[in-house]
């Protein structure tokens, strides 16, 4: 089983430290592997890790605009995927587009609003 990891990002040092303390207390199996003072620092830490999923307190549209569109694509209103991690794109029995990732058994549904970004694959 993969260890649970987190990067905590907030521009307020005291808030960030408080979040880390609460996470350590309430979720002892979670390892905080990094802390960042802003979104750009968080992105730099993310690039240095092998983690698969991140919770970032930045509007997703702003984050999507900062990322390389050849490597990262938005799949619905609250998720962006790394194109290099995609193993397959399939249709479910309800005809919804579903992405299956390499290195994990995780799947994610593509919203109809973003399907056009993946049709050529």
Note the pLDDT tens digit of each residue in 44-80. 887 777 656 666 667 788 778 878 888 889 999 888 8
Q: Residue 28 pLDDT > 70, yes or no?
A: yes
Highest mean pLDDT among 21-25, 29-33, 90-94: 90-94
Q: Which residues pair with 79 in a beta bridge?
A: 76
For residue 10, what are the contacts with CB-CB under 8 A and spacing of at least 6? Answer: 16, 19, 37, 57
Using CA atoms, how far apart are residues 96 and 102, in angstroms rounded to an integer?
20
For residue 21, what are the contacts with CB-CB under 8 A and spacing of at least 6? Answer: none
């Amino acid at each position: 089983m993969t260890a649970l990891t987190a990067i905590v990002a907030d521009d307020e040092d005291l808030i960030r430290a408080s979040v880390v303390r609460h996470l350590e207390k309430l979720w002892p199996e979670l390892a905080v592997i990094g802390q960042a003072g802003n979104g750009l620092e968080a992105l730099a830490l993310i690039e240095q890790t092998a983690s698969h999923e991140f919770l970032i307190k930045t509007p997703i549209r702003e984050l999507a605009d900062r990322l390389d569109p050849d490597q990262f694509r938005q799949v619905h209103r609250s998720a962006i995927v790394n194109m290099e991690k995609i193993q397959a794109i399939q249709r479910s029995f309800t005809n919804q587009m579903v992405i299956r990732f390499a290195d994990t058994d995780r799947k994610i549904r593509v919203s109809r609003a973003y399907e056009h970004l993946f049709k050529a694959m």
